[in-house]
C-alpha cells in the first residue's frame, strides 16, 4: 500500500510542452466553470504565462511577459491573479524560490511536495499523502497541530544527474 501518487514527472527532452500548457488551460476553464469562479482575462493570461515556462517563474517575470506585447499591467494585477490561481489550486508557490509553478492535477485539492533541479530548475510535483502524514505524525508527538506543510527538495533531476556524475 503506497499512498504516493506521482503526477507531474520530470519531462523528457522531447516532450511537447505546449501540449501540457493547452491541456492545463482547458482544465482550468472546466474547473472554474464547475466551481462557479471566474477565470478572467488577466487570470487566464497569467496562467498561460506560467505554463509557457517549463520551470517556476517569478512574479515580475510573469509581469514582463504579460507586458511584452505593449501591455501596461502593474505588479498588483499579477499578484492578485496569483492569489486567485493559488487559492483555486491551479498554481503552486515554491517558497524556496519565490516562484510559481502550474499545478498539473488541479481537479482536486491536494498536498504537494516539490523536487527542484539546482541545474536546470525543472520541477516534479509529488503528491505523497504518506510523506505528509509522516510530518503530521512527527509534529503530533510535540503537541503541534499541523495546518500546512512545505516540502521542497532541491538537487539534480534525472537528466542533469546523468550529465554531471554518471
Kindly list the residues in this chain that would bind a copy of itself in the complex (CB under 8 A). 4, 6, 9-10, 95-96, 113, 115, 117-118, 124, 126, 128, 130-131, 134-136, 138-139, 141-158, 161
Minimal distance, residue 112 CB to a copy of itself, in Å: 13
Q: Are 101 and 92 in contact (CB under 8 A)?
A: yes
Nearest CA among 155, 154, 125, 145 for reference residue 4: 125
94 part of the interface to DNA, by CB under 7 A: no
3-state secondary structure of 13: coil
Cα radius of gyration rounded to whole Å, the chain: 17
Residue 154 binds which entry of DNA, Zn ion, a copy of itself, none, with Cβ cut-offs from 5 to 8 Å by kind?
A: a copy of itself
The one among 2, 13, 72, 142 contacting DNA by CB under 7 A: 72
134-163: which residues touch DNA (CB under 7 A)?
A: none
DSSP β-ladder status, 123-126 and 113-117: antiparallel
**Which segment (42-50, 58-66, 118-126, 135-143) binds Zn ion by CB under 5 A?**
118-126
CB-based contacts of 48, cutoff 8 Å, min separation 6: 21, 25
78-117: which residues touch Zn ion (CB under 5 A)?
A: 103, 112, 117
| Displacement of CA 29 from its chain's centroid (Å) | 17
| Residues found near DNA in the complex (CB under 7 A) | 37-38, 40-43, 58-61, 72-77, 79-81, 84, 98-99
Amino acid at each position: 500500500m503506497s499512498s504516493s501518487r506521482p503526477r507531474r514527472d520530470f519531462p523528457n527532452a522531447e516532450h511537447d510542452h505546449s501540449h501540457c500548457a493547452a491541456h492545463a488551460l482547458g482544465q482550468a476553464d472546466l474547473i472554474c466553470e464547475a466551481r462557479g469562479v471566474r477565470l478572467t482575462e488577466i487570470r487566464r493570461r497569467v496562467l498561460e504565462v506560467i505554463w509557457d515556462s517549463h520551470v517556476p517563474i517569478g512574479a515580475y517575470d510573469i509581469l514582463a511577459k504579460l507586458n511584452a506585447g505593449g501591455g501596461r499591467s502593474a505588479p498588483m494585477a499579477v499578484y492578485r491573479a496569483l492569489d486567485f490561481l493559488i487559492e483555486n489550486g491551479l498554481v503552486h508557490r515554491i517558497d524556496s524560490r519565490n516562484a510559481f509553478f502550474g499545478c498539473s492535477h488541479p481537479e482536486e485539492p491536494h498536498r504537494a511536495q516539490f523536487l527542484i533541479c539546482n541545474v536546470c530548475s525543472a520541477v516534479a510535483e509529488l503528491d505523497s499523502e504518506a510523506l505528509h502524514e509522516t510530518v503530521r505524525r512527527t509534529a503530533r508527538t510535540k503537541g503541534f497541530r499541523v495546518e500546512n506543510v512545505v516540502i521542497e527538495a532541491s538537487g539534480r533531476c534525472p537528466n542533469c544527474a546523468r550529465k554531471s556524475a554518471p
